[in-house]
Amino acid sequence: MDVQDSNVLYLAIVDNKGSFIGYATIDHLDSDLPSIGLELKREYRRQGHGKETVDLLLEACSRVLNKDEVIVRINSDNNASLALFSQYNIKEIGREDSEYIQALDFLNKGKLESEKIAAPKEYSENGRYIKRFLLRA
């Protein structure tokens, strides 16, 4: 475990041999609704590591932060993560632009229409976005 910021906890995920296989975060530690996230190396996906990590994150939020609800943000086209989290007591509570679109909006702010950077097709309207879920431990 490594605390990089007083409001975010970054965790290395390692296998039983100590090899790095991904990372997890608990963000917004001081809020009523912290958020959790994880990323696994491709070769370690679909082997139960994600579920085990989510279980541990939920336990940490409950025991350490005294929070039984967290936010999870999942890209709309991330079927593996959507399937993983569907195993839990979740409720979709909103949608937002992807970080890519948010970054483009920031970069395009104040530019003339002809100067703006266009979003790729997969990010355009009705394309990729982020689903926000409330997850109850």
- Give the tokens for residue 93: 């509570």
The pTM for the full model equals 0.77
Predicted pLDDT of residue 1: 44
Please tell me the distance from the alpha carbon of residue 84 to that of residue 74, in angstroms, as a whole number: 11
Other C-beta atoms lying within 10 Å of the C-beta of residue 39 = 14
Please tell me the distance from the alpha carbon of residue 3 to that of residue 95, in angstroms, as a whole number: 29
Please tell me the distance from the alpha carbon of residue 31 to that of residue 35, in angstroms, as a whole number: 9
Predicted pLDDT of residue 121: 75
One digit per residue, the tens of pLDDT, for the chain of length 137 reads: 444 557 888 899 998 899 999 999 999 988 899 999 999 999 999 899 999 999 999 999 999 889 999 999 998 888 889 999 999 989 999 988 887 888 888 888 999 988 988 887 777 666 778 888 998 87
- Name the 3-class secondary structure at 100: helix
CB 48 within 8 A of CB 38: no
Number of helices and strands in the chain (H, E) = 3, 7
Predicted pLDDT of residue 4: 53
